[in-house]
Amino acid sequence: MTTTPTVRKLSYSRAINEALAEELARDERVFIMGQDVGAFGGAFGVTRGLHARFGGERVIDTPISEMFLVGGGVGAAITGLRPVVEMQYADFLWNAGDEIVGKMSKWRYMHGGLFTVPMVLRLPEGAAGGAGPEHSTCPEAALLAAAGSYIVIPSTPYDAKGLLKSAIRDDNPVAYFEHKGMYGLKGEVPEEEYTIPLGQADLKRVGDDVSIITWGRMVHRALEAAETAAADGISVEVLDLRCLRPLDVAAIVATVEKTGRVIISHEAGKTGGGGGEIAAIIAEECITSLEAPVRRICGIETPVPQSTHLEQYVVPTAEDLGAAITDIARY
Amino acid sequence: MLTDELKIEIYRMMYLAQTWEQRLLRLLDDGLVSGFYHAGRGHEALEVASMVALRDDDYLLYDHRGCAHMLAKRMSMVSLFGDFLGNDKGSTKGLGAGIVHIADPDHGVLGQSGTLGGGHVLAAGVGLSIKLRKTDQVVVNFFGDGAANRGTFHEGANVAGAWKLPVIYIVQNNGWAISTPQSQVTAIESFAERAAGYGMAGVSIDGMDPFLVYETMAEAVERARGGGGPTLLEGRVVRFRGHYEGDPGTYRSKEELAAGKDLDPVVRTRLRLLEDGLRTEEELDRLQHDVDAEIEAALEEALTGTVPGRERLSEGLYV
């Protein structure tokens, strides 16, 4: 009798932790710094156990100093180390705006390519648990204008681990957005080592009638909506971009040419949340393949309220997507 | 220890920095380089003598005030001219550098934050890197009295002090943040007073005296290499020219400027070397003549460079 090997399941949080542990063990130039990342294990427990295993010189607690966290990371990166910096919340990227846009993203270019800036900025994002207007946003699209940095937004434990390992090994700076609402999400993560190349979108579901182009936590709501739509006879394709830079334009064009009906969905507000850029690329590259106007199903454009009751209305639901699927399929 | 040979070397490099800048300003007059140049005339003693106290593998984050610190850190003059000319002889291979963003990793010249004070936090990160890599290098971060007031200083200085990082913060206090006098925007007279708040050594000196700068810097470097932590070194200096070329300078009285120019570090150091009998007039004339020739040769080579085409724009953004 043969048994099928079962792939073990890990949470999104543990998958990130495992990627960090493996890269710390693999390369002595890698170190972690951030607020409460040491023995405490991070505000969300993501770095738990790493301080005990690797010590206080590899996993460093810092003061509340976002400008130092990022600018200091750049200083370490241009002098031979590979820092992984944890911002306690993605929203705090504004506290280090110049350090991210002006230093992390531009140092190499503006100094004639004489340096590399191999650093990763981990940015816990998203509305989850009533963290309030300043601790709940998904600001990844803000970095679209920061040429020089890559933007990674994993949606599953498998992707989270494989993409983080690639990000740490990459010689370019990477902003890595991990959704707080997914830390407990479990998924298959093989025991064996693997990496996922940056800049490759992933078809999370194959379909023929409608494409949902999305990333981050919205991938799961898109999959849920696709499942519901299937019962109604509508075949939905879900393309998880996984990275906004490098952006997999070929994958976007391929799905648009296949279905001709496109919904773009992200948790950030519709204006400036990144979907407009995807729609513009579709207009430039393959507008004649469209059978219906592009629809955007995105977060509403208010600050995220502190109340968890109201917070749930900010992020689009599978039902919102389902209505859009029905609508666009009939167009 | 400040040997006679080092004194001569400091003088030679100050004279070189001054003359190099004069030559650059002639290129500016000829329309060959942009006016975004912030002349360093008057700051030579602080920038040169502090760098002479460093090793080749120590790091420099320079500021925009002239190029004396970069020259003293052995940045190639051909590269420097090339950067100003925006051609492929420059360290940035034609990106054009005004005064910012020249770099030379082989001599520890890490570059500059174009936003003033951006280097405060980078320097702390470099200091952390040195500590983690367990070398005995040091990093020097230059800035003016204007950029001393950036919030980045607080964040960088705080960790440098807390973790005893080998960082030397050098504030070139010329009293003027473009047109704003220090007294109008700070309650203290000396920025060195701030050092205590970060648990670091603070010292304020006459930055127009190169030998004092060297001795003070040597102490700071020794402290940093030995794990004694950071230093905030304030050098009181005089900016002889405008903030930038074309600055009308209406905010500063003629008397104040004239008094400052009496402290010219290049002129006074030459006199000291003569008075102390370290060199004769003829010897110093020959030294200066050799430096002049060195500068002209570098410029000649830099002028053979080519200004790159549009394709240069997309080079070097990603690895």
Q: Which domain holds residue B141?
A: 34-76+104-279
Whether chain B has a CB inside 8 Å of the CB on A72: the answer is yes
How many angstroms away from the CA of A233 is the closest CA of chain B?
45
According to CATH, the topology of domain A202-330 is: Rossmann fold (3.40.50)
Asked if B155 and A111 come within 8 Å (Cβ–Cβ), the reply is: no
C-alpha distance across the termini of chain B, in Å: 43
- Asked if residue B91 belongs to a domain, the reply is no
Q: Note the Cα A157 to chain centre separation in Å.
A: 11
Q: How many domains does chain B have?
A: 1
Residues 6+ apart with CB under 8 A from B29: none
Asked if A68 and B121 come within 8 Å (Cβ–Cβ), the reply is: yes
- Among the partner residues B124, B151, B316, nearest to A108 by beta-carbon distance: B316
Asked if B155 and A109 come within 8 Å (Cβ–Cβ), the reply is: no
Q: Quick: pLDDT tens for B97-114.
A: 666 689 999 999 999 999
Whether chain B has a CB inside 8 Å of the CB on A21: the answer is no
Asked if B125 and A98 come within 8 Å (Cβ–Cβ), the reply is: no
Map out the domains of chain A as residue ranges.
10-188, 202-330
Closest listed residue to residue B48, CA positions, set B28, B62, B27: B62
For residue B168, give the H/E element and its range: strand B167-173
Indicate which residues of B carry an active-site annotation. 239, 243, 251
Return the structure tokens found at A211.
């494409």
Q: Quick: pLDDT tens for B16-66.
A: 999 999 999 999 999 998 778 999 999 999 999 999 999 999 999 999 999
Closest listed residue to residue A244, CA positions, set A138, A141, A130, A132: A141
For chain A positions 104-123, those within 8 Å of chain B (CB to CB) are 107-116
How many angstroms away from the CA of B30 is the closest CA of chain A?
26
For A195, counting Cβ atoms within 10 Å of its Cβ (0-12 exposed, 13-18 middle, 19+ buried), the class is middle
In this structure, the number of other CB atoms found within 10 A of the CB of residue B206 comes to 16
Query: What is the CATH code of the structural domain delimited by A10-188?
Result: 3.40.50.970
- Among the partner residues B133, B317, B318, nearest to A80 by beta-carbon distance: B133
In the prediction, which pLDDT does A219 show? 98
Say which amino acid occupies A140: E
Whether chain B has a CB inside 8 Å of the CB on A297: the answer is no
* DSSP 3-state of B245: coil
- Among the partner residues A71, A81, A110, nearest to B132 by beta-carbon distance: A81
How many angstroms away from the CA of A192 is the closest CA of chain B?
28
Return the structure tokens found at B196.
């205590």
Query: Residue B200's pLDDT band (boundaries 50, 70, 90)?
Result: very high
Asked if A102 and B115 come within 8 Å (Cβ–Cβ), the reply is: yes
Rg (CA), chain A: 20
Show residues of chain B in contact with A80, CB under 8 Å: 129, 133
In the prediction, which pLDDT does B34 show? 78
pLDDT tens sequence for chain A (331 residues): 556 667 899 999 999 999 999 999 999 999 999 999 999 999 999 999 999 999 999 999 999 999 999 999 999 999 999 999 999 999 999 999 999 999 999 999 999 999 999 999 999 999 998 999 999 999 999 999 999 999 999 999 999 999 999 999 999 999 999 999 999 999 999 999 999 999 999 999 999 999 999 999 999 999 999 999 999 999 999 999 999 999 999 999 999 999 999 999 999 999 999 999 999 999 999 999 999 999 999 999 999 999 999 999 999 999 999 999 999 999 9
Q: Domain with B221 in it: what CATH number?
A: 3.40.50.970
For A224, counting Cβ atoms within 10 Å of its Cβ (0-12 exposed, 13-18 middle, 19+ buried), the class is middle
